Structure 1
Amino acid sequence: MMLKRTASVEQIKIDSVIFSSVFQIGDSQQIQAFSRALAVQREAEIFYGNEGNFAAFPVFLEPIPFQSDYENVNIFTHNINPVLKVGSIDILGVSSSSIVHLGNSCNVSMEARVKHIRQLLPRPE
């Protein structure tokens, strides 16, 4: 069951929305975003030809533990004012499986996995 509220935004400014990200105006029944990245920082531009193999890194293969979303919870909500009013929103960037959502949502599942690698040249002793 989705909440029954209305979002009223006078002005919104977003400079950048990238990498499996969403800017959503309106209600959503289901939102699912997924992003993965290899971030390699090298002192020298040496390429071995096998870059980009996500399966070589366990961080991309390990399952994410989720708690059951079928708990019995009794809740009573009374919205005195069913309108959420916002004057202005200013966002620099939305990235890597993120969302800016103006509205109601029911099911949201988002995942971002990043492996950072630094490859430095050998240092003389």
Structure 2
Amino acid sequence: MNYRTTKVKQIKVDSVAFSSILQIGDAKVIESKLDAIAVQKEGGTSSDKGFEFEKYPIFDTVIQHLPDPEIVYRKHYHHDKQITVPTIVVTAISSSAVVQLGSTDKIQSLSRVKHIRMVK
């Protein structure tokens, strides 16, 4: 495939958090992974004791990946050698998400979150 250059005049990102990636430029492989336990308790929590990852089977689950897609032969006709964007505005990148300006051969992201709500 013929790669094109991405030309961005300005990018504004307010927040990047929790194993997320803002990639400017090309990459062969991007991998991001997040395991999180989100606890909401009336009156607040004073400690994270009792909320270990080992207690919850979601974090031990083996993910069944999709097989590689079959090869499809195609031709692209790019009328311009670059992609030009004046401004990109991103409010937040979170929980193993990827925002990239450039080319990547492979992106693999995984986010597992266990939500616990404790109400009286």
* Structure 1 and Structure 2 fold alike (TM over 0.5): yes
> Identity rate of aligned residues, in percent?
37
Q: TM-score, normalised on structure 2?
A: 0.89
C-alpha separation between the residues in 1 aligned to 2:13 and 2:48?
38
Instruction: Provide the alpha-carbon RMSD of the alignment.
Output: 1.7
- Structure 1 residue runs of 5 or longer lacking an equivalent are none
C-alpha separation between the residues in 2 aligned to 1:55 and 1:112?
16
Shift of 1:77: 1.7
Where in structure 1 do 4 or more consecutive aligned residues deviate above 3 Å? 44-48
- Give the conservation status (yes or no) of the 8 Å contact 1:3–1:104: no
Q: Name the residue aligned to 1:78.
A: 77
C-alpha separation between the residues in 2 aligned to 1:96 and 1:45?
23
Q: Name the residue aligned to 1:57.
A: 56
C-alpha separation between the residues in 1 aligned to 2:22 and 2:103?
13
C-alpha separation between the residues in 2 aligned to 1:57 and 1:39?
12
Matches within 5 A, 1:1-125: 4-45=3-44, 47=47, 49-51=49-51, 53-69=52-68, 71-121=70-120
Q: TM-score, normalised on structure 1?
A: 0.86
Decide which structure has the larger Cα Rg and report it. Answer: 1
Q: How many residues are paired up?
A: 119
